[in-house]
Amino acid sequence: MNEDLFSDITDTLFANKAILSEEYQPDEIVEREDEIDAFRSALKDVLFGRNPSNVFIYGKTGVGKTAVTEYIMTALKAEVTRRDDADELHVHFRNCNDDTVYRTVRALINSIRGDDCEPFPETGHSTAHALETLYEEMDSNGGTYLFVLDEIDHLSDPNTLLYELPRARANDHLTASRVGVIGISNNYAFRSSLSPKVKDTLMEKEIAFSPYDADELRSILTTRAEKALIEDAWDDSAIKLAAANAAKDTGSARQAIDLLREGGDVAEENGATKITDEHIEVAVDRVQRGRVENKLRDQTMHGQLILEALAKLEVSGSTPAKSKHVQQVYVRVAESRRQEPLTTLKSIQNHLADLTMLGFLERTEHNEGRAGGAHYQYELALDPTIVIETRDAIESEPT
């Protein structure tokens, strides 16, 4: 009978599984004391009613950038209410992935207006008009505004926004309010891509988040396990193994937490009373496959085809490979997938550079002297078998 399908599931190792989810915001941040201190110092002027500094946060995915930012914003808002010198603080978050400046500004306007007011139009106005409206909304409320722009390096034209906002008060666009930009980026080279006048305008504080090491991840996992799991539901060696695997791979707390959660699921599937090393070993394979698949699906079709080409080169023992060799295999892969291949080597090299920046590839520079000159060679930073299996799965899905 269908009603008996779940009747035998009566026990769980999880006291609060949500604590091991990506959206969980911890009450306490561990192993980021130095970054928190730097962040706190960068924003101290807000407490005295002064113009806030612009702050840029750099680091790989899963190293605590967003969690620390949200933690700091919560604490700052609470402290502002206790300070007579501080103006009212308004914090607005926006993820800029694949955003235009207009869409970002529109989102900030609507966030300030709230759900009860008429939203700013999606089309029909210029970016300049959108910025004017943003300034009007800010000044009508007054106070200090902090705009937290996550993945700011993915904004279509960051120069425009990062030139306009920090100069808004100096240019008399704002009189009753102040503004600071907090940019979050996975790309350490993002600042170097900005125009000279923007760099001069920003005068920002920079905070770099390095990958976690195994001991730091072990501390984070232990803190989460004590809240997320029931008592005595894990071996310390399992925590250590999950931390070591994540540290060796990405240094990401998110990956380590995923391993612990998946390890708990594996343990429950096997009727175990605690998470052991064996459960974590199974979880490592599951999580790796899931993460590769999700990251691969997020790429453009040609990005996927280039990764598939490199996976095939890797399997055949032909990596590291020059971009010309990658292009030759990519063309064959594209044609086999009934896709029109990109025709220029430069377009392939641009994709290779992007995929390297995103952590899919490893790039080494070789210099063959006068005969061959300097060039890059590429190899996959992922399991090639998983890449090929995922690409096959994507291609077999109905369109």
**What digits encode the pLDDT tens for the residues 148-201?**
999 998 898 999 999 999 999 999 999 999 999 999 998 888 888 899 999 988
Burial of 316: CB neighbours in 10 Å, binned 0-12, 13-18, 19+: exposed
Question: Where residue 203 falls among pLDDT bands split at 50, 70, 90?
Answer: confident
Question: For residue 70, what are the CA distances in angstroms to 29, 100, 249?
Answer: 11, 24, 26
Average pLDDT rounded to a whole number, residues 28-36: 95
Evaluate if residue 291 carries a pLDDT over 90.
no
CATH number of 32-209: 3.40.50.300
Token look-up 């280039």 returns 306
Give residue 370's pLDDT. Answer: 61
Question: Where residue 324 falls among pLDDT bands split at 50, 70, 90?
Answer: very high
Helix ranges, 114-252 (H): 127-141, 158-167, 196-202, 214-228, 236-249
Evaluate if residue 369 carries a pLDDT over 80.
no
**What digits encode the pLDDT tens for the residues 220-255?**
999 999 999 999 999 999 999 999 999 998 899 999
Residue 212 is assigned to a ligand binding site: yes
The number of beta carbons lying within 10 Å of the beta carbon of residue 340 is 9
Domain limits, CATH 1.10.8.60, in the chain: 213-296
Contact 40, 69 (CB under 8 A): no
Evaluate if residue 44 carries a pLDDT over 70.
yes
Evaluate if residue 1 carries a pLDDT over 60.
no
Domain limits, CATH 3.40.50.300, in the chain: 32-209
**What digits encode the pLDDT tens for the residues 135-149?**
999 999 999 999 999
> What gap in Å lies between CA 61 and CA 323, rounded to an integer?
27
Give residue 92's pLDDT. Answer: 98
Q: Is the pTM of this model over 0.85?
A: no
Give residue 188's pLDDT. Answer: 83
Domain limits, CATH 1.10.10.10, in the chain: 299-396
Evaluate if residue 289 carries a pLDDT over 90.
no
Average pLDDT rounded to a whole number, residues 379-394: 92
Q: Is 200 helix (H, G, I), strand (E, B) or coil?
A: helix
DSSP run (H or E) holding 34: helix 33-42
- Residue 328 makes CB contacts below 8 A (sequence gap 6+) with none
Question: Where residue 121 falls among pLDDT bands split at 50, 70, 90?
Answer: very high
Residue 66 is assigned to a ligand binding site: yes
Q: Edge-to-edge strands of the sheet including 361-367?
A: 321-322, 374-380, 361-367
Evaluate if residue 7 carries a pLDDT over 80.
no
Residue 64 is assigned to a ligand binding site: yes
CATH classification number, 213-296, choose in 1.10.760.10, 1.10.150.120, 1.10.10.10, 1.10.8.60: 1.10.8.60
Evaluate if residue 8 carries a pLDDT over 90.
no
> What gap in Å lies between CA 81 and CA 93, rounded to an integer?
20
Evaluate if residue 399 carries a pLDDT over 90.
no
Give residue 6's pLDDT. Answer: 67
Percent of the chain scored above 70 by pLDDT? 96
Average pLDDT rounded to a whole number, residues 355-372: 78
The number of beta carbons lying within 10 Å of the beta carbon of residue 259 is 30
Residue 24 is assigned to a ligand binding site: no
The one-letter amino acid code at 152 reads I
More reliable by pLDDT, 357 or 73? 73
**Tokens found for residue 280:** 């974590």
Report the first-to-last Cα separation within the chain, whole angstroms.
36
Evaluate if residue 12 carries a pLDDT over 70.
yes
Q: Which CATH class name applies to 299-396?
A: mainly alpha
> What gap in Å lies between CA 225 and CA 223, rounded to an integer?
6
